Amino acid sequence: MNLGTRIAGVAAAAAIAWAGQASAQPAADTIAAIRARGQVICGVSVNAPGFALPDSRGEFRGLDVDTCRAVAAALLGDATKIRFVPNTTQQRFTMLQSGEIDLLVRNTTWTLARESQLGLAFAGINFYDGQGFMVRRSSGVTSARQLDGATVCVQPGTTTELNLADYFRTNRMRFTPVVIEQAEEIRAAFVAGRCDAYTNDASSLASFRATRTTDANDFVLLPEIISKEPLGPAVRKGDWKWFDLVRWTLYAQIAAEELGVTSANVEEMARTSTNPDIQRLLGRTGDLGRSLGVDNDWAVRVIRQVGNYAEMYERNITPIGIPRGVNNLWNNGGLHYAPPIR
């Protein structure tokens, strides 16, 4: 069975299982469940520097982690009222579908199939990414087009696996996949020379290299980006009040950056700003928070406790060496753009 057929079969099976569950049960009230238990349960990566990784005290840090914390601040008033559940690429969708987690923020690409077949809804994009390749500098390879006949380390159950097959088929090249599920194991296999190249989202490759303390210069990111990988938070389809809150929490952080509202000045802005957009964002005018099922100062809590989008990026992604690039605001040459909060 070829790779495309195998992935299609897995997706179809998951779709059938999910369709049966969806037809048998009404959409759950996720917001009510979270309030009753007093915490948001968020699915994140096991080991993704810059996105989700425990620090020396065992506390998760990263862009995806902060995206989860922002939702907890919006709904419960406290960004610490959250439980992180690390999961693999194979586990993540089942855990969300089954209700084991409320929210999935795990370097997960927004695709048509995942929304139409798996019963998921993506609430936005917190990082624009694309798939790349890494090789050892000693190989002398400077382009992905030189990888004909290579062995390539790749994780199963991902868009990465499908994109890899598409790229080699399109360019009439051969490859042998080395399929390993756990991130730590696949990276160790690459470092040990079990594969000629390692493919993943470019951000993941950059974060891997950034964590190498003695041999980071031994690894090279090739220039080709072979896919579009918009990463963002996903929820179960059908619970649209929960979807709205997750979506607009992210947009509030993007809008705050554009309006110059930061964790350091948000309290003052809430008291003194006469800008109508800022007044609406921070709940000074209008009733937008209540329309989402929270207090009107929900965005103040998010920004004060977690920050705007730029603060999240600088805290988590800049240290691993990835420039803002397409992840800048739309008015600074990037793609991030919040719909009007009004």
Average pLDDT over residues 199-216: 88
Q: What is the pLDDT of residues 151-202, one digit of tens each?
A: 999 998 888 999 999 999 999 999 999 999 888 899 999 999 999 999 999 9
Total Cβ atoms within 10 A of residue 45: 25
* Position 24 pLDDT exceeds 50: no
* Position 335 pLDDT exceeds 70: yes
| Average model confidence (pLDDT) across the chain | 91
Q: What is the pLDDT of residues 220-267, one digit of tens each?
A: 999 999 999 999 999 999 999 999 999 999 999 999 999 999 999 999
Q: What is the pLDDT of residues 76-87, one digit of tens each?
A: 999 999 999 999
3-state helix, strand, coil in the chain (%, to 5): 45, 15, 35
Q: What is the pLDDT of residues 278-305, one digit of tens each?
A: 999 999 999 999 999 999 999 999 999 9
> 11 falls in which pLDDT band (50, 70, 90)?
very low
> What is the per-residue pLDDT for 3?
40
Query: 3-class DSSP state for residue 199?
Result: strand
Structure tokens given for 158: 């991902």
* Position 339 pLDDT exceeds 90: yes
* Position 6 pLDDT exceeds 60: no
> What is the per-residue pLDDT for 27?
64
For residue 36, give the H/E element and its range: helix 30-37
- Higher local confidence (pLDDT), 30 or 89: 30
Cα distance between residue 157 and residue 88, in whole Å? 9
Cα distance between residue 74 and residue 303, in whole Å? 9
> What is the per-residue pLDDT for 284?
96
Is residue 268 within 8 A of residue 278, CB to CB? The reply is no
Structure tokens given for 166: 């598409």
- pTM for the whole thing? 0.84
CA-CA distances (angstroms) from residue 105 to 177, 238, 273, 320? 27, 18, 33, 19
Is residue 239 within 8 A of residue 27, CB to CB? The reply is yes
